[in-house]
Amino acid sequence: MFNYKVVNGDKEEYKDLSDICVKNIKEDGFDCLFTVGGDSTQKSARDLTLKGINVIGIPKTMDNDVACVDEAVGFATAVDVAVEAIDRLHSTAEAHNRVMLLEVMGRHAGWLALEAAIAGGADVALIPEIPYDINKVIAKIKERKRRGKNFSIVVVSEGAYSKDGEIVIKDVRDNGGGVINQRLGGIGDVVAKEIEELTGIITRNTVLGYTQRGGIPSTPDRILAAKYAVKAMDLALEGKFNVLTVLKNGKLDCVSFEDVVGNNKKIGAVEGGTKESNMKTVGLDDYLIKVARSLGICLGD
């Protein structure tokens, strides 16, 4: 609504139609707007609050990168899909003595890749938060071969990059109004090629793509969605607006949209998922990192 594409004949232009949206919401008598989505959605929610609309947000993103939230709706299901893929790749990898890569989504956060690697028993996990050294990856694969393990499973987050390189961008889309959206993807092919060249082992990459985003939600996700929905309604009945419902340290609570948006202050101009946004990424002191290392998973460093 802040950057809406309008087509007039052969001409396309982007306009801020948020005032019309606000007018319609008020005229239709809505007491509260519930927004369900990731950091981009919740930034738009914050922007609407500044225009006088009562908003309550519910975090939903498979990337699990919404600030102030332990877990967003959709993440558990995406992990399940990735783990199932890893389980299936194990069969081919072991039977044919190959290295099998799985490229997963997540943009600039490695939660999905890390949890899928841990749950799926992967040997290597490359995430955006830890620029990888390909030589460390090769050393792990060769170490396994010396121990009689002639196959390896590597999980790569789409936002991962080497310590000497940059994030691989599949394409760039101009959304108009100064908003540029980068579509990540392709790092799996890059890593697969390097591994095959440096080890001589046949290496194949599988990109899950949008299969991670749809389908049947897991039971934990259904329960989490119900919890968030009830909490959001409780907040609305209390008259507590302009907040995001959060699950923090096992407890349902809420935080202001300003805490979620972070430094992404300009109204309607910049989407979430940028350096200015307050997205949640994997900290090097996060216990998941310790778990992965303790299980012998190479993180490329």
pLDDT digits (tens, 9 = 90+) for 31-57: 999 999 998 899 999 999 999 999 999
- Average pLDDT score over residue span 213-217: 89
The answer on pLDDT for 178 being more than 80 is: no
| Number of neighbours of residue 20 by Cβ within 10 angstroms | 12
Question: What pLDDT is stored for residue 2 in this prediction?
Answer: 83
Share of the chain above pLDDT 90, in %: 75
Share of the chain above pLDDT 70, in %: 92
Is the Cβ–Cβ distance between 191 and 126 less than 8 Å?
yes
Question: What pLDDT is stored for residue 15 in this prediction?
Answer: 84
CA distances from 244 to 50, 118, 122, 229 (A): 15, 29, 34, 11
Under the banding of pLDDT at 50, 70 and 90, the label for residue 154 is very high
Catalytic residue selected from 47, 63, 80, 221 = 63
Instruction: Give just the sign of the alpha carbon dihedral 17, 19, 23, 25.
Output: positive
Which strands, in side-by-side order, build the sheet including 124-126? Answer: 124-126, 152-157, 99-104, 203-207
Q: Which residue has the higher pLDDT, 264 or 183?
A: 183
Flag the least confident range among 13-17, 139-143, 160-164. Answer: 13-17
Q: Which two tokens stand for residue 108?
A: 């600039």
Under the banding of pLDDT at 50, 70 and 90, the label for residue 291 is very high
Q: Is 63 a catalytic residue?
A: yes
Question: What pLDDT is stored for residue 177 in this prediction?
Answer: 56
Q: Which two tokens stand for residue 290?
A: 């310790």
Please write the tens of the pLDDT for every residue from 267-289: 654 555 555 668 899 999 999 99
Give all domains of the chain, ordered by start, each with its CATH number: 4-72+217-261 (3.40.50.450), 77-216+285-294 (3.40.50.460)
Under the banding of pLDDT at 50, 70 and 90, the label for residue 264 is low
Question: What pLDDT is stored for residue 112 in this prediction?
Answer: 97
